[in-house]
Amino acid sequence: MKIVAFFCNVTTEKFLDITSEIEGYKKIGLTGNDQSRYKEYCDIALNSFKKWNPDIEVVYLNDDNILECLESFGNPKLINSPIGQKFNLGLEVMKHHKADKLIILDVDTITCARVDDMIDDNEHDILVSLNYNMQDKNEYFTTPYYTLEFEDGSMVEDSANINSGVVCFNNIKALERALELTIIHPNYFGDQGALNELLWTEGSFTFKVLDGPWPTSEVAYNVRSKGVNFTEHIFELAKHYAGHNYISQYYVKDNKLFTPDGKHIKVWHLAEGMHGRPLEKFNELTDIIKTKLFNPDTIKFFKEECGCDEFFN
């Protein structure tokens, strides 16, 4: 079986430059930020995945190598859109490498364990992971929100909203359809909306939520391990409640990183839109991540077990 892990750091501006030239479209005017500042985040995403999954082939596309890679692909079918390049390029990677399984991780992730739940599952067409505990709803899809009842009579409300930053496709047709939905409905949460629509409305492919339902899950693969909803909260908690918030209470046991409630973190996803922030804000938040967000044991784990020593030094 051919397994490929795909990381995409091709900026929208670069992607539109390329596709405008290929398709002959007029370039959509966008002003991008300097993406070189994001390189250290990409480095820890790649290093950590390779550290835990050395046998998995990794493809990393960025602004510097994208043209050369596309030439090697032959005749890639690219969309001319400011949304969807991750699934678009992922599909071309899957086709070019003749992969049976494509693991897609965003470049602001830290892999903290072997992703065996993805590697070993060949039964489901799509393997997905949870977004924040909230409901997204529009005319095309509604993400499930449900209540779990336990033996002691307690009840917990929770969401099955999916985050596209950590996903695995075992069926190329499923990825093709996810891309089609991204193109058809571009203004509804992009590829993330397309993935939720594919799962919760169309129901045409089998899938498994790797870390859901969250209240009973033993693993964490995405943003739920942050312990908050929405972005920016983790920074406010780190600044004002250092040592007393969810992330600061991570612990390491038997060479594994756990949340305070004992869920094994296999992939940690920042998901704070760092690459799109003004430089001053970017630098401020990066400093918080490096110095205030995590406790010493977690940083030690990242440095020694995940290849993140340069970032945290």
Q: How confident is the model over 178-232, as pLDDT tens digits? A: 999 999 987 778 899 999 999 999 999 999 999 999 999 999 999 999 999 877 8
Q: Tokens 């969401």 sit at which residue?
A: 159
pLDDT number for residue 189? 82
pTM for the model stands at 0.94
- Mean pLDDT score, 97-113: 98
Q: Is the pLDDT of residue 31 over 80?
A: no
For 39-68, what is the mean pLDDT?
96
Q: Per-residue pLDDT tens for 122-162? A: 999 999 999 999 999 999 999 999 999 988 889 999 999 99
Catalogue all structural domains in the chain, each as residue range(s) with its CATH number.
Answer: 3-312 (3.90.550)
Evaluate whether 219 touches 264 at the Cβ level (below 8 Å): yes
- What pLDDT does residue 21 have? 62
DSSP letter string, 95-120: HHTT-SEEEEE-TTEEE-S--HHHHS
**Number of other residues whose CB lies within 10 A of the CB of residue 102:** 26
- Among 198, 195, 210, smallest CA distance to 123 is for 210
pLDDT of residue 75: 83
- Rounded Cα gap, residues 162 and 27, in angstroms: 31
Query: Could you tell me which residue, 31 or 78, shows the higher pLDDT?
Result: 78
pLDDT of res. 23: 52
